[in-house]
Structure 1
Amino acid sequence: MICAIVVGVLALGLAGVAAGAAGAARSADAAPQGDSGPLAAQPWSAAAVNAATASGRPVLVNLTADWCVTCKINERAALSSPRVAKAMREANAAYLVGDWTRRDDAITRELQAHGRSGVPLYLLYRPGRAEPEILPQLLTEGVVVDALKD
């Protein structure tokens, strides 16, 4: 009887490790890199925001993490849509992604500066405006497209 329990626990443990490895591989494939769906993303930094707005471009900032379920839903439902990509192109907007998966200190400070303690945080900077517009934590295509039109 004890042997059967030990074998069962070991089998469950091995299944969990295999599932975890498969999930990690999928996460690595989905991590924001140079291209997040149809939006070409660049790494977030305060300097990158300043450079883009100084050149007259709006900037959509996505502060995210691989473990953030809401972030992943927003990326799939809104940020990877062709309609949002078109609105970004029409607005000549830069798309910057800050990956907080490993708790980057600069991203932590940016979150705190906007009254947040975690991700997601979506900011839309416009040239000539000191403060960004904070977009909702749950995004839709329409929210992003409308924000870019203002």
Structure 2
Amino acid sequence: MGRYESFWEITRKALIYAMKKFNVSIDVDKAMKTWLNLRPYEDVVEALPKINARKVTLTNGDEWMIRELLRNSNLLGYFDEIITAEKVKKYKPAKDVYKLVEGAIFISSNPWDIAGARNARLQAIYVNRYGYNLEEIDIEDKIKIIKSLKELVK
């Protein structure tokens, strides 16, 4: 396709599409603002301050969105950098996005994100909080699997 739109705008359009598809009427702007106030998982709140390494978030979200989200969840100060797909005008799982953090150990609770990271040859740790089966994801080699970020700081 080659066309890039901000994550905020894509998310907004997807919400409007879903509302029409399922005949739901809500305040779109209010719904979008809830995205900026998501609650982090408990293990993230506990473990993040204890992880003694440079911490970067690699996200499809727009930088302003992620900065606001992390600020609202009191996590912004734990990150050294916010790197977004905006820099390459592509979205994960495109390899170019993961190349922005080449050499990093990639940690995610999203199987598709782990698959994308491995495709870009990053070391990966999958946080499998809910015991999902990874056989459906095409991951060519073994990855470290944990149930909680707390396992990284034991």
Classify the TM-score, shorter chain.
Answer: 0.3 to 0.5
Greater helix content: 1
Higher RCO structure, 1 or 2 (CA under 8 Å, sep 6+): 1
Greater strand content: 1
Query: What TM-score do the two structures reach when normalised by structure 2?
Result: 0.32
Structure with greater Cα Rg: 1
